[in-house]
Amino acid sequence: KSFAELIQSMKDNQSKVTELIQGQTESAVKQAEGFIKTLQQEITNMLTLGADLQHLELLSQTNNDVQFLERAVSLPSLTEYKKPYVFLVCPYNSFERDSMAVDELIEKLNTTS
């Protein structure tokens, strides 16, 4: 290959690597946004449950067991089944190697041109 073709090939590879990194970054951001939205909903649910538990604690101080049970059943967050969430996060999702490859390509382009 000629020198110009080599440079063009390196630029093409750099472009492909850059696109790959951008795609992975966008995917990671979307996944993180989904986790954040789910966590915010869980926080809201837990705050509601906490308020209902405080209300239930106040109700438990009454001497009327029937009234306590009737009111306790009326608290929706205490009667609904809630499935716990499990989050799997890969802590090794790093773009360090990709960044190093791009830096190498840029350095090669700079030294050859």
Distances (CA, A) of 7 to 20, 42, 87, 110: 20, 52, 44, 10
Domain borders along the chain are 3-82+94-112
Q: In this structure, what token pair is assigned to residue 46?
A: 């837990």
The owner of tokens 């306790």 is 72
Q: What is the pLDDT along the chain (113 residues), one digit of tens a residue?
A: 688 888 899 999 999 999 999 999 998 899 889 989 988 988 888 888 888 778 778 877 877 777 777 777 776 665 554 555 555 555 555 666 667 777 777 777 777 65
Nearest to 52 by CA among 71, 73, 77: 77
Q: In this structure, what token pair is assigned to residue 22?
A: 């951008």
Where do runs of H (alpha helix) occur along 2-95?
3-60, 65-73, 76-79
Q: What is the DSSP letter of 63?
A: S
